[in-house]
């Protein structure tokens, strides 16, 4: 099994965490919702797997390229 690190594609705020550690996700499922300039941007799972860690909290300000979650495939 491999572990994938999911990163944010833009500088933004964490608006909502959709799935936590232990949750089973499919490729394309929303894991986290970011907010930037009043727009909601989903962070999608890049593969089927299980979330092993969420590395941010709701309300956190994050940078482009920052790790936000880990998924075991």
Domains present along the chain, CATH in parentheses? 3-72 (2.40.50.100)
Q: What is the mean pLDDT of each run of 10 residues along the chain (73 residues)?
A: 94 98 98 96 97 98 98 97
Q: What pLDDT shows up at residue 28? A: 97
Q: What pLDDT shows up at residue 1? A: 78
pTM above 0.85, yes or no: yes
Q: Which of 68, 53, 50 is nearest to 7 (CA)?
A: 68
Residue for token pair 């969420």: 54
């Amino acid at each position: 099994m491999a572990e994938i690190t999911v990163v944010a594609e833009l500088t933004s705020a964490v608006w909502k965490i959709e799935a936590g550690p232990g949750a089973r996700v499919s490729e394309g499922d929303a894991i986290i919702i970011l907010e930037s300039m009043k727009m909601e941007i989903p962070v999608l799972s890049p593969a089927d797997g299980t979330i092993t860690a969420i590395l941010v909290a709701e309300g956190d300000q994050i940078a482009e390229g920052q790790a936000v979650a880990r998924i075991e495939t």
